[in-house]
Amino acid sequence: MSPDRKLAELIDPAVKGTVNVLGACAKSPSVKRVVLTSSICAVAFSSRPKTPEVVVDETWFSDPQFSHQLKTWQWYAISKTLAEEAAWKFAEKNGVDMVVINPVLVAGPLLQPEVNASVEPILNLINGKKFPNSSFGWVNVKDVAEAHIKAYEIASASGRYCLSERVVHYSELARILNSLYPTLQITTECEDDGHYVPTYQISKEKAKSLGIEFQPLEVSLKETVESFKEKNIVNF
């Protein structure tokens, strides 16, 4: 898909839609605070190095130019980055009390009958596909929901809140799934033969200030797979 088409289909709606909602909120005296769902894609994608010792926190901002280089999530990352940037500019200019939630990949029980982009990598592993040479953070959907509620209810909440229980390489994701469901024999093969992309850390400090206690990744993965089974997405 061409960049112009991506601009029309993903970026413009994300930016304009976000600003339009904030505009409606700004006109309503009954709206006291806006809690905006953004993404870690608006935080962590820049030229700053990410290694196991590096801690990504709420002061980081993604660089749209860097995001153009991504192999996956490219346009999603750009749209989320620009939408959040526009939201902060609007909120500051118009005096909107806004709090932003920046979750990583969200796992856990599915509400919808179909598989979304966050949990598709888990399904791919179950279906025998090789894993990509990538490292991503994961968080439980129930923790994300709780964070949104707390961000609204707690008067002192402000700014951005990164939500991540753990950042793992896909090889670790495969290992955990194998330990939970040994009969599935999840592949241990990577899509390429290069050195594994390093993991990094995402700060939990601000999230903890909301009272969030993250569900372990193992729990989130098990809940995801069991939800797949309940919805007949997988059968074993």
Q: Please tell me the number of Cα atoms within 13 Å of 63 on its side-chain side.
A: 7
For the chain, counts of helices (H) and of strands (E): 9, 8
At the second CATH level, the architecture of 3-230 is 3-Layer(aba) Sandwich (3.40)
Percent of residues, the chain, with pLDDT higher than 90:
84
Provide the sign of the torsion angle of the four alpha carbons 204, 210, 211, 215, taken in this order.
negative
Phi, then psi, of 49 in degrees rounded to 5: -65, 145
Q: How far apart are CA 90 and CA 84, in angstroms?
A: 10
89 is catalytic: no
Report the pLDDT value the prediction gives residue 64, as an integer from 0 to 100: 85
Q: What is the dihedral of CA 158, 54, 38, 107, to 10 degrees?
A: -120
What is the average pLDDT across 197-218? 98
Question: Taking 70 as the threshold, does the pLDDT of residue 2 lie above it?
Answer: no
* Residues forming a β-bridge with 131: 190
Give me the chain's average pLDDT, please.
94
Q: What is the pLDDT of residues 118-134, one digit of tens each?
A: 999 999 999 999 999 99
Helix (H, G, I), strand (E, B) or coil at 24: helix
CB 209 within 8 A of CB 147: no
Report the pLDDT value the prediction gives residue 67, as an integer from 0 to 100: 65
Q: CA 104, 51, 158 angle in degrees (round to 5)?
A: 40
Q: What is the pLDDT of residues 53-98, one digit of tens each?
A: 999 999 999 998 876 666 666 788 899 999 999 999 999 999 999 9
Q: What is the pLDDT of residues 171-207, one digit of tens each?
A: 999 999 999 999 998 999 999 989 999 999 999 999 9
Candidates 160, 158, 199; CA nearest to 80 is 160
Helix (H, G, I), strand (E, B) or coil at 102: strand
What pTM does this model have?
Answer: 0.93
Q: How far apart are CA 44 and CA 100, in angstroms?
A: 15
Of 6, 16, 27, 80, the catalytic one is 80
Q: What is the pLDDT of residues 101-119, one digit of tens each?
A: 999 999 999 999 899 999 9
Candidates 231, 230, 194, 224; CA nearest to 126 is 224
* Residues forming a β-bridge with 56: 202
Q: What is the pLDDT of residues 31-46, one digit of tens each?
A: 999 999 999 999 999 9
Neighbours of 115 (CB within 10 A): 18
